[in-house]
Copies of this chain bind each other. A is one copy, B any other.
Amino acid sequence: MEFKHQATVTLAEVAEAAGVGESTVSRVLRNHGSFSGRTRERVMAAVERLGYVPNRIAGTLASTGSRLVAFVIPSLSNIVFPDVLRGASAVLEENRYQAVFSVTDYDPGKEEALAAAMLAWRPAAVMLAGCEHTEGTVKMLRASGCRVVELLDLDGDALDIAVGFSNRAAGRESAAFLLKRGYRRIGYVGHDLNRDTRAGKRFSSFCETLGAHDAPLVAREILPGASSVENGRLGLERLLARTTDLDAVYFSNDDMALGGYFHCLAQGIAIPSKLAIFGYNGLDIGRATPQPLSTIRTPRVATGEIAAQLVVANAPPQAVDLGFELIEGATA
């Protein structure tokens, strides 16, 4: 059963109460067009008195173009996406845009269905994670004519606007750093890469770089499901049970890396002398651990901010590379 709104005061009622025309009320409330000070006062008084709340559904329908921005994100468990939303929502709120979201659970099919549902709201823009989408999604977004922003991955062709950085470069630099530090027997602990294609890109570039320096990946442990601290801990435990002579482990992200770090603490494995640990994301928590985590800090909040700014400004199609920062830390 749908909820029915009660006592809905309309523009027309305000107009009548203020003794002016509807369009005058509309102009005053949107502060658009011209009207006298006296009219303004009368309208505002009526608005106040009646407790009028404009109906943006009607307003959006009547005008062309909405102020809704739709986010179709893979997850809310992975702090990455709340961070992006945080950056974006601050900018959007300032500009009187409204954020709408739904969660795909890293499922491309669901992404397509949710994107379609989003388009039904005729948003000003749709923001998606990454640049890998189903054919149907791409076709639909193209046809919609609404702005499309692809976030956090620049390794691919952008549909319209893309904001983020190269995950391949991140994987490459991570490998280069470990090699530079002298690690040669390197392992990997990751989560389900089929779902998180960005983590997959980092991993493959990481491996390529190792291979190019005659230090190919020694072992890997991939855990099903999402990344988590517990999976990181479990993954490292399993990896070390199989492979005893590793000198460094690359993790699919900081959550996983922290799990590995905790495993070492619990087992008395000296870090980084006995085993080095390297993560990805640059979470704040990694700076507060007894040894700061070696990782790559990604511009998550900034990605959201810039994306929102470009949408608000109706900027031309473009790819914005925000880069990332390698944090040397103390675990590698």
At the interface, yes or no: A322 with Cβ under 8 Å from chain B? no
B230 and A288 form a contact (CB under 8 A): yes
B289 and A262 form a contact (CB under 8 A): yes
A1 to B, closest residue via Cβ: B314
- Chain A 47-66 residues near chain B, CB threshold 8 A: 51, 53-58, 60-61, 63-66
At the interface, yes or no: A220 with Cβ under 8 Å from chain B? no
At the interface, yes or no: A46 with Cβ under 8 Å from chain B? no
Expressed in whole angstroms, the Cα–Cα distance for A55 and B56 within the complex equals 15
Listed stretches A112-120, A169-177, A209-217; interface member: A112-120
A268 CB to nearest B CB, Å: 10
A99 and B100 form a contact (CB under 8 A): yes
A51 to B, closest residue via Cβ: B143
A78 to B, closest residue via Cβ: B82
A79-117 contact mask (Cβ, 8 Å, vs B): 1 or 0: 101110110011001001011111100000000001011
B residues less than 8 Å from A83 (CB atoms):
76-77
B residues less than 8 Å from A258 (CB atoms):
285, 288
At the interface, yes or no: A284 with Cβ under 8 Å from chain B? yes
B residues less than 8 Å from A116 (CB atoms):
53
A86 and B93 form a contact (CB under 8 A): no
At the interface, yes or no: A229 with Cβ under 8 Å from chain B? yes
Give chain A's interface residue range (CB within 8 Å of chain B): 35 or more
B residues less than 8 Å from A114 (CB atoms):
93
B residues less than 8 Å from A100 (CB atoms):
98-101
A125 to B, closest residue via Cβ: B3
B residues less than 8 Å from A96 (CB atoms):
117
Expressed in whole angstroms, the Cα–Cα distance for A64 and B2 within the complex equals 8
From the candidates B53, B81, B125, name the one contacting A119 in the complex (CB within 8 A): B53
A231 to B, closest residue via Cβ: B288
Expressed in whole angstroms, the Cα–Cα distance for A301 and B129 within the complex equals 23
B residues less than 8 Å from A181 (CB atoms):
none
A238-261 contact mask (Cβ, 8 Å, vs B): 1 or 0: 000000000000000001001100
Q: Return 29 A-B CB contacts under 8 Å, by A number.
A: A1-B314, A2-B67, A2-B314, A3-B65, A3-B124, A3-B125, A7-B145, A56-B120, A57-B57, A57-B60, A57-B61, A57-B122, A58-B61, A76-B82, A77-B82, A77-B86, A79-B79, A93-B103, A93-B114, A98-B100, A99-B102, A100-B100, A228-B288, A229-B287, A230-B284, A233-B288, A262-B288, A262-B289, A265-B265
Query: Taking beta carbons and an 8 Å cutoff, which residues of A are in contact with B?
Result: 1-8, 51, 53-58, 60-61, 63-67, 75-77, 79, 81-83, 85-86, 89-90, 93, 96, 98-103, 114, 116-122, 124-125, 140, 143-147, 228-230, 232-233, 255, 258-259, 262, 265-266, 284-285, 287-290, 314
